[in-house]
Homo-oligomer: A and B are copies of this chain.
Amino acid sequence: MALIPAKPDGRPTVNIGMLGYGFMGKAHSNAFKTMPYIFWPDAARPRLKAIAGRTEDKVAEAATRYGFETYSTDWHDLLADPDIQVFDNVGPDPEHFGPTMAAIKAGKHVVCEKPLALSAQEATQLHHAAVEANVKHLTCFNYRFVPAVRLAYEMISNGELGEIYTSSFRYAQEWRTDPDATLPTPAGALSVIGCHAIDQARLLVGDIAAVSAVLSNPVSSADRGEPVDAVTSIAEFHGGATGTISATLIAPGRRNRLSWEINGSKGSICWDLENLNVLRVYRRGGTTSEGFAEVIVCEADHPLVGPWWPSGHVLGWEHSHINMLADFVRAVAEDSPLTRTAATFADGAKAALVADAITESAVKGVRTAVPELPGTSTGS
Protein backbone atom coordinates (compact mmCIF):
# COMPACT_ATOMS: atom_id res chain seq x y z
CA MET A 1 0.00 0.00 0.00
CA ALA A 2 1.24 3.46 -0.77
CA LEU A 3 0.37 6.90 0.49
CA ILE A 4 -3.18 7.80 -0.42
CA PRO A 5 -4.17 11.38 -1.18
CA ALA A 6 -6.32 12.84 1.56
CA LYS A 7 -9.94 13.44 0.80
CA PRO A 8 -10.91 17.07 0.49
CA ASP A 9 -12.63 18.75 3.40
CA GLY A 10 -16.11 18.99 1.98
CA ARG A 11 -17.57 21.21 4.62
CA PRO A 12 -19.05 24.51 3.52
CA THR A 13 -16.83 27.54 3.73
CA VAL A 14 -17.53 30.93 5.19
CA ASN A 15 -15.51 33.61 3.46
CA ILE A 16 -13.82 36.15 5.63
CA GLY A 17 -12.62 39.65 4.88
CA MET A 18 -10.63 41.23 7.68
CA LEU A 19 -9.84 44.86 8.34
CA GLY A 20 -6.72 45.25 10.47
CA TYR A 21 -3.65 43.11 11.16
CA GLY A 22 -2.45 44.05 14.63
CA PHE A 23 -2.74 42.16 17.89
CA MET A 24 -6.41 41.41 17.30
CA GLY A 25 -5.85 40.53 13.67
CA LYS A 26 -3.42 37.90 14.87
CA ALA A 27 -5.88 36.58 17.45
CA HIS A 28 -8.75 36.38 14.95
CA SER A 29 -6.62 34.85 12.22
CA ASN A 30 -5.44 32.23 14.67
CA ALA A 31 -9.06 31.55 15.55
CA PHE A 32 -10.17 31.12 11.96
CA LYS A 33 -7.24 28.83 11.20
CA THR A 34 -7.67 26.69 14.29
CA MET A 35 -11.41 26.14 14.43
CA PRO A 36 -11.75 23.81 11.43
CA TYR A 37 -9.84 20.96 13.03
CA ILE A 38 -10.90 21.62 16.61
CA PHE A 39 -14.62 21.94 15.97
CA TRP A 40 -14.63 18.82 13.85
CA PRO A 41 -16.58 17.55 12.02
CA ASP A 42 -19.52 19.83 12.51
CA ALA A 43 -18.31 23.32 11.84
CA ALA A 44 -18.01 25.19 8.62
CA ARG A 45 -14.58 26.21 7.44
CA PRO A 46 -13.63 29.86 7.40
CA ARG A 47 -11.85 30.80 4.22
CA LEU A 48 -9.50 33.72 4.59
CA LYS A 49 -10.36 35.59 1.44
CA ALA A 50 -8.89 39.02 1.96
CA ILE A 51 -7.29 41.32 4.48
CA ALA A 52 -7.17 45.09 4.36
CA GLY A 53 -5.00 47.65 6.10
CA ARG A 54 -3.48 51.04 5.55
CA THR A 55 0.19 50.22 5.14
CA GLU A 56 0.86 48.14 2.07
CA ASP A 57 3.97 46.26 3.12
CA LYS A 58 2.43 45.37 6.44
CA VAL A 59 -0.88 44.21 5.08
CA ALA A 60 0.88 42.26 2.36
CA GLU A 61 3.05 40.58 4.98
CA ALA A 62 -0.01 39.78 7.11
CA ALA A 63 -1.73 38.21 4.13
CA THR A 64 1.20 35.86 3.57
CA ARG A 65 1.72 35.21 7.26
CA TYR A 66 -1.87 34.28 8.02
CA GLY A 67 -2.76 32.74 4.70
CA PHE A 68 -5.22 35.27 3.32
CA GLU A 69 -5.68 34.81 -0.38
CA THR A 70 -5.57 38.51 -1.18
CA TYR A 71 -5.00 41.85 0.41
CA SER A 72 -5.73 45.52 -0.12
CA THR A 73 -4.89 48.87 1.37
CA ASP A 74 -8.50 49.91 0.95
CA TRP A 75 -11.11 48.20 3.03
CA HIS A 76 -13.82 49.11 0.55
CA ASP A 77 -12.36 46.35 -1.60
CA LEU A 78 -13.54 43.84 0.98
CA LEU A 79 -17.07 45.10 0.68
CA ALA A 80 -16.94 45.08 -3.09
CA ASP A 81 -16.08 41.42 -3.24
CA PRO A 82 -19.37 39.51 -3.41
CA ASP A 83 -17.66 36.32 -2.22
CA ILE A 84 -16.85 37.79 1.15
CA GLN A 85 -19.60 36.92 3.61
CA VAL A 86 -18.11 38.19 6.84
CA PHE A 87 -16.51 41.53 7.50
CA ASP A 88 -14.31 41.22 10.54
CA ASN A 89 -13.29 44.62 11.86
CA VAL A 90 -10.15 44.43 14.00
CA GLY A 91 -8.98 47.89 13.02
CA PRO A 92 -8.23 50.75 15.42
CA ASP A 93 -11.14 51.98 17.55
CA PRO A 94 -11.89 55.09 15.46
CA GLU A 95 -12.27 52.81 12.42
CA HIS A 96 -14.96 50.68 14.02
CA PHE A 97 -17.98 52.75 13.09
CA GLY A 98 -17.52 53.77 9.47
CA PRO A 99 -16.29 50.56 7.87
CA THR A 100 -18.64 48.41 9.92
CA MET A 101 -21.62 50.52 8.92
CA ALA A 102 -20.53 50.30 5.33
CA ALA A 103 -20.17 46.55 5.59
CA ILE A 104 -23.69 46.24 6.96
CA LYS A 105 -24.97 48.32 4.13
CA ALA A 106 -23.10 46.03 1.74
CA GLY A 107 -24.96 43.10 3.28
CA LYS A 108 -22.00 41.53 5.02
CA HIS A 109 -22.25 39.71 8.30
CA VAL A 110 -20.24 41.78 10.74
CA VAL A 111 -17.79 41.12 13.51
CA CYS A 112 -16.41 44.12 15.35
CA GLU A 113 -13.84 44.34 18.09
CA LYS A 114 -14.70 46.19 21.26
CA PRO A 115 -15.59 48.93 21.89
CA LEU A 116 -18.21 48.74 19.17
CA ALA A 117 -17.94 52.49 18.55
CA LEU A 118 -16.58 55.65 20.12
CA SER A 119 -19.98 56.65 21.48
CA ALA A 120 -23.23 55.09 22.46
CA GLN A 121 -24.92 56.98 19.69
CA GLU A 122 -22.76 55.41 17.00
CA ALA A 123 -22.94 52.00 18.61
CA THR A 124 -26.70 52.23 18.67
CA GLN A 125 -26.75 53.14 14.99
CA LEU A 126 -24.65 50.09 14.19
CA HIS A 127 -27.03 47.92 16.16
CA HIS A 128 -30.09 49.23 14.38
CA ALA A 129 -28.46 49.00 10.99
CA ALA A 130 -27.43 45.39 11.54
CA VAL A 131 -30.86 44.38 12.76
CA GLU A 132 -32.49 46.12 9.85
CA ALA A 133 -30.13 44.56 7.31
CA ASN A 134 -30.76 41.18 8.88
CA VAL A 135 -27.08 40.30 9.05
CA LYS A 136 -25.33 38.41 11.81
CA HIS A 137 -23.52 40.74 14.16
CA LEU A 138 -21.00 40.11 16.90
CA THR A 139 -19.27 42.45 19.31
CA CYS A 140 -16.02 40.82 20.39
CA PHE A 141 -16.54 40.55 24.10
CA ASN A 142 -14.46 37.44 23.92
CA TYR A 143 -14.31 36.79 27.67
CA ARG A 144 -17.89 35.54 27.45
CA PHE A 145 -16.34 32.50 25.78
CA VAL A 146 -13.88 31.59 28.51
CA PRO A 147 -15.23 28.27 29.80
CA ALA A 148 -15.20 29.40 33.45
CA VAL A 149 -17.20 32.52 32.57
CA ARG A 150 -19.65 30.48 30.60
CA LEU A 151 -20.04 28.03 33.46
CA ALA A 152 -20.70 31.00 35.75
CA TYR A 153 -23.40 32.17 33.36
CA GLU A 154 -25.01 28.75 33.32
CA MET A 155 -24.94 28.51 37.10
CA ILE A 156 -26.60 31.88 37.50
CA SER A 157 -29.16 31.12 34.78
CA ASN A 158 -30.00 27.84 36.45
CA GLY A 159 -30.60 29.64 39.71
CA GLU A 160 -27.68 27.99 41.48
CA LEU A 161 -26.72 31.30 43.09
CA GLY A 162 -30.32 32.29 43.82
CA GLU A 163 -31.11 35.96 43.71
CA ILE A 164 -28.04 38.06 42.96
CA TYR A 165 -27.34 40.57 45.71
CA THR A 166 -23.98 42.21 45.26
CA SER A 167 -21.08 42.06 42.85
CA SER A 168 -17.83 43.66 41.82
CA PHE A 169 -16.22 43.78 38.40
CA ARG A 170 -12.76 45.13 37.80
CA TYR A 171 -10.32 45.17 34.93
CA ALA A 172 -6.83 46.13 36.04
CA GLN A 173 -3.67 46.55 34.03
CA GLU A 174 -0.49 48.34 34.91
CA TRP A 175 1.18 49.70 31.82
CA ARG A 176 0.00 53.28 32.16
CA THR A 177 1.78 53.49 35.53
CA ASP A 178 4.70 54.30 33.29
CA PRO A 179 4.10 57.93 32.30
CA ASP A 180 6.06 57.37 29.11
CA ALA A 181 3.72 54.68 27.87
CA THR A 182 1.76 55.54 24.77
CA LEU A 183 -1.57 57.04 25.65
CA PRO A 184 -4.53 54.79 25.25
CA THR A 185 -6.82 56.06 22.55
CA PRO A 186 -9.22 57.62 22.48
CA ALA A 187 -11.07 57.35 25.74
CA GLY A 188 -8.71 55.70 28.17
CA ALA A 189 -9.35 53.00 30.72
CA LEU A 190 -13.08 52.92 30.20
CA SER A 191 -12.85 52.25 26.51
CA VAL A 192 -9.70 50.15 26.38
CA ILE A 193 -10.62 47.65 29.07
CA GLY A 194 -13.55 48.99 31.05
CA CYS A 195 -16.05 47.91 28.43
CA HIS A 196 -15.11 44.30 29.13
CA ALA A 197 -15.92 44.81 32.82
CA ILE A 198 -19.23 46.41 31.89
CA ASP A 199 -20.03 43.55 29.57
CA GLN A 200 -19.23 40.89 32.14
CA ALA A 201 -21.50 42.66 34.59
CA ARG A 202 -24.32 42.77 32.05
CA LEU A 203 -23.82 39.14 31.03
CA LEU A 204 -23.76 37.78 34.56
CA VAL A 205 -25.91 40.13 36.62
CA GLY A 206 -28.07 41.77 33.99
CA ASP A 207 -28.90 45.16 32.57
CA ILE A 208 -27.86 48.23 34.49
CA ALA A 209 -30.35 50.89 35.54
CA ALA A 210 -28.09 53.58 36.92
CA VAL A 211 -24.48 54.34 37.65
CA SER A 212 -22.49 56.62 39.94
CA ALA A 213 -18.91 57.17 38.91
CA VAL A 214 -15.58 58.86 39.35
CA LEU A 215 -12.77 59.20 36.84
CA SER A 216 -9.17 59.70 37.81
CA ASN A 217 -6.05 60.81 36.02
CA PRO A 218 -3.06 60.71 38.31
CA VAL A 219 -0.65 59.93 35.47
CA SER A 220 -2.31 61.37 32.40
CA SER A 221 -3.35 64.98 32.20
CA ALA A 222 -7.06 65.60 31.98
CA ASP A 223 -6.27 69.22 31.31
CA ARG A 224 -4.50 68.33 28.14
CA GLY A 225 -7.42 66.12 27.22
CA GLU A 226 -5.53 62.95 27.87
CA PRO A 227 -7.63 59.87 28.43
CA VAL A 228 -8.54 58.67 31.91
CA ASP A 229 -6.21 56.32 33.75
CA ALA A 230 -8.85 54.78 35.96
CA VAL A 231 -12.59 54.75 36.36
CA THR A 232 -14.61 53.61 39.34
CA SER A 233 -18.36 53.22 39.30
CA ILE A 234 -21.28 51.79 41.20
CA ALA A 235 -23.90 49.98 39.20
CA GLU A 236 -27.53 49.48 40.18
CA PHE A 237 -28.98 46.65 38.16
CA HIS A 238 -32.57 46.42 36.99
CA GLY A 239 -32.89 43.16 38.88
CA GLY A 240 -32.13 44.85 42.19
CA ALA A 241 -28.49 43.86 42.61
CA THR A 242 -25.73 46.39 43.13
CA GLY A 243 -22.10 46.24 42.24
CA THR A 244 -18.90 48.06 41.44
CA ILE A 245 -17.44 48.31 37.97
CA SER A 246 -13.89 49.55 37.79
CA ALA A 247 -11.13 49.78 35.27
CA THR A 248 -7.60 50.90 35.86
CA LEU A 249 -4.48 51.08 33.75
CA ILE A 250 -2.33 52.04 36.73
CA ALA A 251 -2.34 49.03 39.03
CA PRO A 252 1.26 47.81 39.34
CA GLY A 253 1.55 44.03 39.22
CA ARG A 254 -1.79 43.51 37.55
CA ARG A 255 -0.65 42.26 34.16
CA ASN A 256 -4.08 41.65 32.71
CA ARG A 257 -6.54 41.05 35.51
CA LEU A 258 -10.19 41.15 34.67
CA SER A 259 -11.84 39.83 37.82
CA TRP A 260 -15.19 39.65 39.51
CA GLU A 261 -17.07 38.38 42.52
CA ILE A 262 -20.81 37.77 42.55
CA ASN A 263 -22.84 37.10 45.70
CA GLY A 264 -26.30 35.65 45.57
CA SER A 265 -28.72 34.27 48.09
CA LYS A 266 -27.51 30.71 47.53
CA GLY A 267 -23.82 31.17 46.91
CA SER A 268 -20.95 33.21 45.57
CA ILE A 269 -18.56 32.90 42.66
CA CYS A 270 -15.25 34.54 41.74
CA TRP A 271 -13.06 34.54 38.68
CA ASP A 272 -10.03 36.28 37.28
CA LEU A 273 -8.46 36.34 33.86
CA GLU A 274 -4.90 35.79 35.06
CA ASN A 275 -5.89 32.28 36.14
CA LEU A 276 -8.72 31.95 33.68
CA ASN A 277 -9.40 28.23 33.92
CA VAL A 278 -10.52 28.44 37.52
CA LEU A 279 -13.96 29.38 38.77
CA ARG A 280 -14.12 29.78 42.52
CA VAL A 281 -17.51 28.59 43.74
CA TYR A 282 -19.17 28.76 47.13
CA ARG A 283 -22.47 26.96 47.47
CA ARG A 284 -24.41 27.47 50.67
CA GLY A 285 -24.97 24.01 52.04
CA GLY A 286 -26.10 22.56 55.28
CA THR A 287 -22.77 22.50 57.07
CA THR A 288 -20.06 24.88 58.10
CA SER A 289 -17.30 22.79 56.57
CA GLU A 290 -17.60 24.47 53.24
CA GLY A 291 -15.58 27.03 51.40
CA PHE A 292 -14.81 28.47 48.03
CA ALA A 293 -13.96 25.59 45.72
CA GLU A 294 -11.35 26.05 43.03
CA VAL A 295 -13.12 24.48 40.09
CA ILE A 296 -10.77 23.90 37.19
CA VAL A 297 -13.21 24.45 34.35
CA CYS A 298 -11.48 22.13 31.99
CA GLU A 299 -13.48 18.91 31.78
CA ALA A 300 -15.04 17.46 28.66
CA ASP A 301 -18.55 18.25 29.84
CA HIS A 302 -17.82 21.87 30.67
CA PRO A 303 -19.21 24.39 28.25
CA LEU A 304 -16.75 25.31 25.46
CA VAL A 305 -14.17 22.77 26.63
CA GLY A 306 -15.29 19.53 25.01
CA PRO A 307 -13.68 20.04 21.61
CA TRP A 308 -10.31 20.79 23.15
CA TRP A 309 -8.02 18.57 25.27
CA PRO A 310 -8.55 15.96 27.98
CA SER A 311 -9.35 16.78 31.59
CA GLY A 312 -7.13 19.40 33.15
CA HIS A 313 -5.13 20.29 30.06
CA VAL A 314 -5.75 23.94 30.58
CA LEU A 315 -6.66 26.53 28.00
CA GLY A 316 -5.23 30.01 27.50
CA TRP A 317 -6.39 33.46 26.55
CA GLU A 318 -6.64 32.88 22.82
CA HIS A 319 -9.21 30.11 23.21
CA SER A 320 -11.84 32.67 24.12
CA HIS A 321 -11.49 34.13 20.64
CA ILE A 322 -11.51 30.76 18.93
CA ASN A 323 -14.63 29.66 20.80
CA MET A 324 -16.33 32.97 20.02
CA LEU A 325 -15.54 33.14 16.33
CA ALA A 326 -16.32 29.46 15.81
CA ASP A 327 -19.80 30.17 17.07
CA PHE A 328 -20.15 33.07 14.68
CA VAL A 329 -18.91 31.09 11.70
CA ARG A 330 -21.34 28.31 12.58
CA ALA A 331 -24.24 30.75 12.81
CA VAL A 332 -23.39 32.23 9.42
CA ALA A 333 -23.00 28.85 7.78
CA GLU A 334 -26.24 27.52 9.22
CA ASP A 335 -28.09 30.83 9.10
CA SER A 336 -29.01 30.20 12.70
CA PRO A 337 -28.78 32.37 15.82
CA LEU A 338 -25.57 32.92 17.72
CA THR A 339 -25.33 31.08 20.98
CA ARG A 340 -27.32 32.98 23.56
CA THR A 341 -24.23 34.16 25.39
CA ALA A 342 -22.61 35.71 22.35
CA ALA A 343 -22.47 39.51 22.45
CA THR A 344 -24.37 41.00 19.55
CA PHE A 345 -24.25 44.62 18.48
CA ALA A 346 -27.11 45.15 20.94
CA ASP A 347 -24.69 44.18 23.67
CA GLY A 348 -22.01 46.40 22.20
CA ALA A 349 -24.44 49.29 22.17
CA LYS A 350 -25.71 48.62 25.67
CA ALA A 351 -22.15 48.56 26.98
CA ALA A 352 -21.59 51.90 25.27
CA LEU A 353 -24.72 53.31 26.88
CA VAL A 354 -23.37 52.29 30.27
CA ALA A 355 -19.96 53.73 29.47
CA ASP A 356 -21.45 57.04 28.43
CA ALA A 357 -23.57 57.14 31.57
CA ILE A 358 -20.47 56.48 33.66
CA THR A 359 -18.68 59.42 32.09
CA GLU A 360 -21.72 61.64 32.52
CA SER A 361 -22.13 60.64 36.15
CA ALA A 362 -18.49 61.35 36.87
CA VAL A 363 -18.63 64.76 35.26
CA LYS A 364 -21.87 65.80 36.92
CA GLY A 365 -21.37 64.07 40.27
CA VAL A 366 -24.84 62.56 40.28
CA ARG A 367 -26.33 59.12 39.95
CA THR A 368 -27.14 58.76 36.28
CA ALA A 369 -29.73 56.55 34.66
CA VAL A 370 -28.58 54.30 31.84
CA PRO A 371 -30.94 54.80 28.89
CA GLU A 372 -32.51 51.77 27.36
CA LEU A 373 -31.33 50.80 23.92
CA PRO A 374 -33.96 52.27 21.64
CA GLY A 375 -36.18 49.62 20.23
CA THR A 376 -35.51 47.09 22.94
CA SER A 377 -36.86 46.46 26.38
CA THR A 378 -34.71 45.85 29.40
CA GLY A 379 -35.39 42.24 29.92
CA SER A 380 -34.10 41.21 26.53
Chain A positions near chain B (C-beta within 8 angstroms): 1-9, 23, 26-27, 29-30, 33-34, 36-38, 40-41, 50, 60-61, 63-74, 77-78, 80-81, 151, 155, 163, 165-166, 168, 170, 172-173, 175, 177, 212-214, 216, 218-219, 229-230, 232-234, 236, 240-244, 246, 248, 250-257, 261, 263-268, 273-279, 281-282, 284, 288-302, 309-319, 365-367
| Contacting residues, chain B, for A177 (C-beta < 8 A) | 165, 265, 284
Q: Considering the chains assembled together, what is the distance between the CA atoms of A263 and B216 in angstroms? A: 13
B72 near A255 with CB under 8 A, answer: no
Chain B hits for A253, CB < 8 A: 267-268, 282, 284, 290-292
Q: Pick from A175, A212, A297 the residue with the most CB of B within 10 Å.
A: A212
Verify B240–A5 contact, CB threshold 8 A. no
A175 CA to B33 CA, complexed, in Å: 32
| This protein's copies in its complex | 4
Residue in B closest to A218 when the chains form the complex, CB atoms: B165
A288 is contacted by which of B61, B67, B267, B302 (Cβ under 8 Å)? Answer: B302
B311 touching A72, Cβ below 8 Å: no
CB-CB under 8 A from A3, the residues of chain B are 50, 70-72, 77-78, 81
A48–B33 Cα distance when bound, in Å, is 15
Given contacts A177-B284, A253-B282, A288-B300, 8 further A-B contacts (CB under 8 A): A1-B74, A2-B80, A4-B71, A33-B34, A214-B367, A252-B265, A253-B268, A288-B302
